[in-house]
Amino acid sequence: MALMTGEQYIESIRKIPMEIYMFGKKVENPVDDPILRPSLNSVRMTYDLAQMPEYQDLMTVISPETGERINRFTHIHRSTDDLMKKVKMQRLCGQKTASCFQRCVGMDAFNAEYSTTFECDKKYGTNYHENFKKFLDYSQKNDLTVDGAMTDPKGDRSKAPHQQDDPDMYLRVVERREDGVVVRGAKAHQTGIINSHEVIVMPTIAMGPDDKDYAISFAIPMDTKGLFMIIGRQSCDTRKMENTTMDVGNSEFGGVEALTIFDDVFVPNDRIFLNGETEFAGMLVERFAGYHRQSYGGCKVGVGDVLIGAAAVAADYNGAARASHVKDKLIEMTHLNETLYACGIACSAEGTPTESGNYIIDLLLANVCKQNVTRFPYEIVRLAEDIAGGIMVTAPSEADFRDSKIGPIVDKYLKGVSEVTTENRLRILRLVENLALGTAAVGYRTESMHGAGSPQAQRIMIARQGNLAHKKVLAKAIAHIEE
């Protein structure tokens, strides 16, 4: 089974006995929980789109490993065309869900692991690349959703992993056995992990020789003993429990994050992709970060398309669409959004092959892409809020709108243009609220800042990759300077 249907995916997750906690209680049925289900639906869309003939070229690809058609989210990039189609696929998924669809991290981890394990094996004679290829084959053949876990809690940021007062602030090996290792620690901000079949764990920073126990990478199933998740709060999250659709804004799709705990988890040898080779921890982090920063030139752009559309509809419903300043704001939003997309495509088009044969993006341009993502979505949100008006956050609830006594009053006084119902006006305003401030903002506005590394992380990489020395040589040549 190389391609699952959306319904098959849902049922496959239902069968996994995950240990999940939310609001101080264990979640017994996460698949049907009203707060968690929209995030599952977003992942389902990546399966549904892969079944549609019109999207086959973007969503699927013939795997060089298996010879079968697979979902592109499990693919190893073999060309710049692959890299560009990845970005286009992510934009499409963002357009269809207006949320985080959660499979990007696993895809980016696949590609970072593929080349890093190859180069580690070449230096040390380890067997990590074969381990990883076996896991990749399993993931492709079963069309698995695989989460990527990189971000550690970090504790005191001024101290290296081995220097922490609490050594568990970075995930680490606590026992080495003949048949594998036992790990302990946590990974934070894990988007979509409760909707995954497997999780790939990676180091979070470059490491020195004293951090050997922290230089660990592996994959395990989501029902592994000792693995459990604590769901993070989101603004407006309990609206999903009110059995309404209007107030949620985006009632069908969403994202969810979790603090993921590894409580003395056993990892067998054939699932280990790095184990103490500290100099390759930095390579893995840098390559994963590059791929994931490229990703934001697709997924955030797709969600941005929906937000721009929602702002334009709000302007129509408010009777303000002809105002020159509104037109100008929509132009500016489009300009910013397409600039993000241009960076995603550019770093893909400038990609190059690694020693292992898979392609990596241009790291400088990928970091420029993500640096722009830390800024432009905030301005797009600001302009959307400006166009929508304050009523998007002060409107009465859907319960008030449906009430027999006060509903007609809400209907009367919150109407916009005469040919549009008050309900439709409120629905589009709540969608803007959701994307700008509500649950979807986690996967758009705030994630644009901190996802794939916070702004300073990109600036460090831009400094490394910017080749300032070469630029000085160019300037001196033009100025006819001889030293």
Domains of the chain with bracketed CATH: 6-278 (2.40.110.10), 292-478 (1.20.140.10)
> What is residue 173's three-state secondary structure?
strand
If 0-12 CB within 10 Å is exposed, 13-18 middle and 19+ buried, where does residue 248 land?
buried
**Residue 149 has which token pair?**
């876990």
Q: What DSSP line would sit under 142-157, residue for residue?
A: TT--EEEE-----SST
CB 385 within 8 A of CB 312: no
CA pair distance 32, 251, nearest whole angstrom: 14
Residue 191 marked as a ligand binder: yes
Burial class (CB in 10 A: 0-12, 13-18, 19+), 433: buried
Residue 429: the pLDDT is: 98
What are the tens digits of pLDDT across the range 421-464? 999 999 999 999 999 998 887 889 889 999 999 999 999 999 99
Q: Pick out the chain residues at pLDDT < 70.
A: 1
Tell me the backbone φ, ψ of residue 415, rounded to 5 degrees.
Answer: -75, 145
Within a 10 A sphere around the Cβ of 241, how many other Cβ atoms? 11
What are the beta bridge partners of residue 231? 258
pTM for this entry:
0.97
Would you give the DSSP letter of residue 252?
S
* Residue-level pLDDT at 98: 97
- Asked if residue 114 lies in contact with residue 83, where contact means CB atoms within 8 angstroms, the answer is no
- How far is 433 from 451, CA to CA, in rounded Å? 21
Reported as type and span, the H/E element at residue 84 is: helix 80-97
Return d(Cα 372, Cα 369) in angstroms, integer.
Answer: 5
Q: Render pLDDT for 273-304 as a digit per residue (tens, 0 to 9).
A: 999 999 999 999 999 999 999 999 999 999 99
Rounded Cα distance between 456 and 439, Å, is 25
| β strands within 11-81, DSSP E | 20-22, 25-26, 60-62, 69-71
CA 376 – CA 448 distance, rounded (Å)? 9
Q: How far apart are CA 418 and CA 314, in angstroms?
A: 14
Structure tokens at 189: 């901000």
Q: Which residues of 453-483 are buried (b: 16+ CB within 10 A; e: fewer)?
A: beeebbeebbeeeeeeeeeeeeeeeeeeeee
DSSP annotation of 233: P
Q: Alpha carbon of 461 to those of 36, 49, 202, 373: distances in Å? A: 35, 35, 19, 15
Taking residue 19's Cβ as centre, other Cβ atoms within 10 Å add up to 18
Q: How far apart are CA 472 and CA 477, in angstroms?
A: 9
Would you name the residues annotated as active-site residues?
100, 104, 191, 257, 292, 296, 299, 447
What is the C-alpha separation between 137 and 145, in angstroms, rounded? Answer: 13
Query: Which CA distances in Å does 30 have to 25, 231, 250, 447?
Result: 12, 11, 19, 23
Secondary structure (3-state) at 458: helix
Which value, in Å, is the radius of gyration of the alpha carbons in the chain?
A: 23
Contact between 192 and 105 under an 8 Å Cβ cutoff? The reply is yes
Give the Cα separation of 129 and 113 in Å (integer).
8
Q: Count H helices, E strands: the chain?
A: 19, 14
In terms of phi and psi (left: phi > 0; alpha: psi -120 to 50; beta: otherwise), the region of 24 is left
User: Which run of H or E residues covers position 329?
Assistant: helix 324-349
Residue 338, C-beta contacts closer than 8 angstroms, at least 6 positions apart: 301
What is the model's pLDDT at position 1? Answer: 60
